[in-house]
Amino acid sequence: MSATVGALSINVPLGTEVTMRERSGGSALLEFERIYRDNVRVVTAFFARRCSDPQTVADLTSETIVRAAAGFAGFDPRRGTPRAWLSGIAGHVYAQHCANTASGRDAVTRLAGLVILAPEEIDELMGRIDAQRAGQELLERCAALSPLERSAVELVDLDGLTPKEAAAILGVSRGVLRMRLSRARERLRKEHHVDEQKEHRVDEQV
């Protein structure tokens, strides 16, 4: 299966595609392709908020889609939406990428060959990285929050998941998720207000 997001093309390995066809007469492959097309921009944005290199964004996006295709037989829509499922896989892929980088293993080299970028694809991804600057800034402002609150803000306010979907990914109840998200938003609002006051005082002194 080959699909395109803007100028970027991502391929699912032939062996995985054949297995999906054999198990369902092709219906699983068609369903996965639909899920892919509906949600791959969210996956790309997730990595674009974290990586400034378009090759890394492309490789990690491709790795996420390949893992999702390989594990599609275990996807149960009764347990969560496709977007939540893919967001969870993307989180694991990025965590592994960070662990590999921290331990001296080059994750990008490990993934080399999944995506070979043409010039127009590089331009496409650079545009996506630039488009996520506001998201990058929000994540930076979330640095002082707890990991749960930081993830809740990103999943709901940036990725567009519902609190129910985010709670399932984070392994907490919907009530806990809503409470922590509300607390995080309030803290961010207060900090932003303080920053605006500081900037105003500086402007007055100039």
* Residue 100: pLDDT band with limits 50, 70, 90: confident
C-alpha–C-alpha distance, residues 42 and 27, integer Å: 24
In the three-class reduction of DSSP (H, G, I as helix; E, B as strand; rest coil), residue 5 is classed as strand
C-alpha–C-alpha distance, residues 80 and 158, integer Å: 18
Which pLDDT score, from 0 to 100, does residue 174 have? 94
Residue 24 has pLDDT above 60, yes or no: no
Residues in contact with 32: Cβ distance below 8 Å, sequence separation at least 6, in sequence order: 1, 12, 20, 68, 69, 72
Q: CATH 1.10.10.10: which residues of the chain? A: 132-206
- Cα dihedral 54, 125, 38, 18, rounded to 10, equals -50
Residue 14 has pLDDT above 80, yes or no: no
pTM above 0.75, yes or no: no
Q: Architecture of domain 132-206 in CATH?
A: Orthogonal Bundle (1.10)
Residue 146 has pLDDT above 90, yes or no: yes
In the three-class reduction of DSSP (H, G, I as helix; E, B as strand; rest coil), residue 140 is classed as helix
